[in-house]
Structure 1
Amino acid sequence: MRSVERGTVFVKVDPETPDSPQPEEPSPDLVSLPAESIQKILRASAWRPSSEQVQFRNTMVLDLRASEDQLLAGMKQKTRYNLRLAERRGVVVRPAGLEDLDRLYRMYAETSLRDGFVIRDRAYYNDAWGTFFNNGLAQPFLAEVEGESVAGLIVFRLGRRAWYLYGMSRELHRELMPAYLLQWEAIRWARREGCEVYDFWGAPDRLDPQDPLWGVYRFKEGFGSRLVSGVGAWDYTVRPRLYWFYTAVLPRVLGLMRLRGRAQTGHAVD
């Protein structure tokens, strides 16, 4: 096998397949076998469910084939209220661009420190975000209060599907609910671009109020989105001993590296 010759330890796949039957899929871009068939094929080929997920196993999706009025009506009352409150209190949402990369990164770094997750350095995001912006595959938005940026997000799109992959905010003016108006404008943009599905990208593995992502889940649910659970990531082991090291020992090393990364991120926003 070429993979063995190249020193591969294992191969990971993450099928875009719900683990249970779903309502009619709005977008025909993704066609796959039923989850049971996928899992049977993987097990028969010596794949195993992975303990390490790359993408979220669960996500929240919104059907964009409805009209704007129908989408608003499908939201939870509190979500509509917060959206309108942001409008009344002077929050303005505008499309952003390459000239806003530094502003977006600084807010993203501030968000990572506040919420306890690790991000990469500025150069990585300048390159990654800039590439998608330049090729028309992503659109950033900024929420501003009296001309000052207080929150932002980046929506990616391909075919008839849009993904909300990055969100960032400052402590400033959070009481004005800018995140709600940001999401609404991103949803409207995705509809104008011809998307039929808005994927909020990510939800807790278990719907438990004690889960760290519970608040994020409730926020996304408020827009009328529904939960979709996938079959998750699967691993094919090429080198068993190194695979054990990677899955049992390396996470501890990465934990230390993440602590160092958080310190570097802190310097970036000082």
Structure 2
Amino acid sequence: MVPTATLSPLRQAQLTVSPVDRAQYLSASDLYGGRSFLQAPSWAQVKAEWRSELLAWRDADQQIVGTALVLYRSVPRLRRSFAYLPEGPDIDWSEPSLDRWLTPLVDHLAAGGAFAVRIGPPPALRRWRAGTLKAAAGPSLRIGHVLPDLVEPMGSSVSDRLRTLGWRRCGEDGAGGDAQPRFVFQVPLQGRSLDELRSGLSSEWRRNLNKSVRSGVETRMGTEADLPTFHHLLGVTEQRNGFRLGRSLPYYQRQYRALNAEADGRMRLYLASYQGEVLAAHTMNVVGRRVWYQCGASANHRRDVRPSHALQWRMMEDAHRLGAAYYDMRGISDCLDPGRREFGLLRWKLGTGGEVVETLGEWELTLPGVVNQTLHHAMQRYRNR
């Protein structure tokens, strides 16, 4: 791909958006450092209740310079739909003229009957080191109350440009909450040896990891046949921690088959056993050199042998061997109050020595027209209720 800075004004002005087939989409997999697994074509098969479309941006030479997986939720009995691009699109977000990218996208979606569109720009906005947040934790505090260690210039710039173009950040002004986590936790891997990675763990984390080894906890990569065990443990975890994902075993089976049919090892299942019994099971997704810990589950008993610590370390080791720049532990609560339950998961992740990253979050745009505005407002009221 030709860098934006070298393009002539004429070529810069000419970007078009149109559907592409799966092969063309996959061939443009690393234009800007790797797309999210939520933008892989296989994710459309996981979200079978949504209609989907693969799109590409082309320049004046008809070269693909950007891609997007769009999921459509149709309104019953109306030829209208809500368009959703989870953690996408995969375009050049650093370019000052974002309208050059977003206008042809919106035009294409409007022509297909969309009344509104939601996007998830990948750039980061702010970062906090683990030590910063551990030192700041206190009653009623949230991450946003703490001065970040780094403010990302590009993220701030993209946020300003989106507002100028009429987009609204979800969670503000009645735009509804994010579907994907706004705050994620990442462990940097690039340029670090495994010994350096291990020394970056907190003393408590290292102690628990050593205990799992001394206790004889064994880790392995599972197969589709192990998904029922994972799903059972997930139900135990949901009940223990007071949340409900609401995903059935067939959902995870569909995800496992779809992602791995697209690329072997794209979705991985890891299990930790003690004396022959599986005590923890976690899933991991891999796209190129990007790695995500997606979902974890563990039993209520024998937690003293620390199976989840052993499992996470095994997954971090594998991510390191795959050449990942960081190990993405996905979403966290922004709660820094040690007295609240949701702080527990953040505290556990902070022990890995990584950093909290605030993404730009998700943004919505109502497409022109009274009918579109009415439908979008009705959908927002329904979601909020």
Same fold flag (TM > 0.5): yes
RCO comparison, higher one (Cα < 8 Å, 6+): 1
**1:250 aligned onto 2:383:** yes
Instruction: Choose from 220, 223, 239 the match for 2:349.
Output: 220
Q: Does 1:149 align with 2:255?
A: no
Q: Which residue of 2 aligns with 1:120?
A: 247
Identity %: 28
Contact 1:63/1:197 (<8 A) preserved:
yes
Aligned-pair CA distance for 1:4: 4.2
CA distance in structure 2 between the partners assigned to 1:133 and 1:150 by the alignment: 25
Using a 3 Å threshold, how does the CA distance of structure 1 residues 143 and 22 change in structure 2: closer, same or farther? closer
Opposite residue 92 of structure 1, the aligned amino acid is E
- How many residue pairs align between the two structures? 244
The answer as to 2:123 corresponding to 1:17 is yes
RMSD, aligned CA: 2.2
Cα distance change, pair 147–36 in 1 and its aligned pair in 2 (3 A): same
Assess if the C-alpha contact under 8 Å between 1:204 and 1:211 holds in 2.
no
Q: Which runs of 5+ in 1 are unaligned?
A: 24-31, 253-270
Question: Displacement of 1:159 after TM fit?
Answer: 2.3
Residue in 1 that maps onto 2:220: 94
Residue from 180, 194, 206 that aligns with 1:55: 180
Structural mapping, 1:124-139, within 5 Å: 124-134=251-261, 135=263, 136-139=265-268
* Structure (1 or 2) with the greater strand fraction: 2
Contact 1:57 1:205 in 2 (8 A): no
Amino acid at match of 1:10: A
Q: Which residue of 2 aligns with 1:38?
A: 158
**What letter corresponds to residue 125 of structure 1 in structure 2?**
Y
- Partner of 2:283, secondary structure, is strand
Could you list the runs of 4 or more consecutive aligned residues of structure 1 that deviate by over 4 angstroms after TM superposition? Answer: 4-7
Higher Rg of the two aligned structures: 2
**Whole-Å Cα distance in 1 between the matches of residues 159 and 248 of structure 2?**
37
Query: Could you tell me which residue of structure 1 aligns to residue 364 of structure 2?
Result: 235
Partner of 1:28: none
Measure how far apart 1:48 and its partner are.
Answer: 0.4
Alignment of 1:195-210 (within 5 A): 195-210=324-339
- Determine the C-alpha separation between the residues in 2 that align with 1:22 and 1:148: 38
Q: Which amino acid aligns with 1:109?
A: G
What is the TM-score normalised by the length of structure 1? 0.83
CA 1:250 to 1:202, structure 2 compared with 1: closer, same or farther past 3 Å? closer
Shift of 1:130: 2.6
**Is the 1:59–1:203 contact (alpha carbons within 8 Å) kept by the matching residues of 2?**
yes
What is the distance in 1 between the residues matched to 2:310 and 2:127? 32
CA distance in 1, matches of 2:341, 2:181: 14
Runs (5+) with no aligned partner, structure 2: 1-106, 130-151, 172-176
More helix by share: 1
CA offset at residue 139 of structure 1? 1.7
Work out the CA distance in 1 between the residues paired with 2:259 and 2:249: 16
2: CA distance between counterparts of 1:241 and 1:131? 36
| CA drift at 1:142 | 0.2
Deviation string, structure 1 residues 176-233 (Cα, Å, up to 9, x no partner): 1111111000000111122221011112234343554311111111011111111111
Residues 73 and 21 (structure 1), Cα distance of their counterparts in 2 relative to 1, 3 Å cut: closer
In the alignment, the residues of structure 1 paired with residue 343 and residue 115 of structure 2 have an alpha-carbon distance, to the nearest angstrom, of: 34
Larger CA deviation: 119-128 vs 181-190 = 119-128
Shift of 1:82: 0.4
